Amino acid sequence: MKIASFNINGIKARLPALLDWLDEAQPDIALLQEIKSVDEGFPHEPFEERGYNVATHGQKGFNGVAILSKHPLEDVSRGLPGDDSDVQARWIEATVVGDIAAMRVCGLYLPNGNPAPGPKYDYKLSWMRRLEARARDLLDSEEPFLLAGDYNVIPQDEDAKRPEAWREDALALPDSRAAFRRLVNLGLTEAFRARVQGPGHYTFWDYQAGAWNRDDGIRIDHFLLSPQAADMMTDCGIDKEIRAREKPSDHVPIWVTFDL
DNA sequence: ATGTCGTAACGTTTACGA
């Protein structure tokens, strides 16, 4: 089973590019971030035509996450637990039943947090605390699970072409990195780094200043796997080449395959 | 030289968030 994560930066603007990638990459499940659409505005037909079930958690203008799945989605839950006053659409989870096992699949769009310091950075760090609490609860359940999406965290300097440019940025500040490490240190496996070591692997290139042409990227889209899910992983990769296409997102997909 | 997108709205232009 192939599960992918893709920050599409707007479903309306990205639909043709998203469909082209889906047809080629053929993921069984795609976790989407930044749909920038309310649920009623998200197109279902082009995905259902291709055999995907669709679950969305959107809001007007910004944020918004979705799951496309060729398997039925069971027990869909929207919104990250831990703060009833948080109205931002950044979290969706569902259970998918494979041939061998079932897996809880969680899609996330972690707050950017800039400018830091400030209220937006405080929101990012508190959101990461809630994410850690959700991960602890899922670990207690002993059900295989994954947490995948746009983390807006550059885990280490090797995950940026120009780490010095991000030193004061919410994506790389020590508190952001510490919160990400705390999550991993619960016993989760960062899928890409379990397969590939070294610098030069990115999932985001800014639209500005010719970042793509200079390969001035950062690695901020991640899959964290529970121990049971990590045992089932067979491969992991980044679909870098689609960043060069017409009307691309500023992110590219990352995917993991499982014996599931 | 501060560079580009996508979305919304008191909209043919500006503000915001990234």
Tell me which of A52, A109, A151, A202 is the catalytic residue: A109
The arithmetic mean of pLDDT across residues A88-92, rounded, is 98
- Identify whether A121 is a catalytic site residue: no
pLDDT for A53 equals 98
DSSP calls for A64-124: -EEEEESSPPEEEEES-TT-TT-----EEEEEEE-SS-EEEEEEEE-----SSSSHHHHHH
Do residues A144 and A100 lie in contact, with contact meaning Cβ atoms separated by under 8 Å? no
> pLDDT for A196-230, tens place per residue?
999 999 999 999 999 999 999 999 999 999 999 99
Per-residue pLDDT band at A80 (split at 50, 70, 90): very high
For chain A, how many structural domains are there in total?
1
Protein footprint of strand B, defined by Cβ closer than 7 Å to any strand atom: A 9-14, 34, 36-38, 41, 60-63, 111-112, 114, 120, 207-210, 247
CA of A61 to C1' of B15 (A): 13
Nucleotides of B under 7 A from a protein CB: 3-9, 17-18
CATH code for position A196: 3.60.10.10
The boundaries of the domain holding residue A15 are 2-258
CA of A234 to C1' of B4 (A): 37
- Identify whether A150 is a catalytic site residue: yes
Burial string for A4-30 (b: 16+ CB within 10 Å, else e) reads: bbbbbbbbeebeebbeebbeebebbbb
CA of A35 to C1' of B10 (A): 26
> pLDDT for A33-75, tens place per residue?
999 999 999 999 999 999 999 999 999 999 999 999 999 999 9
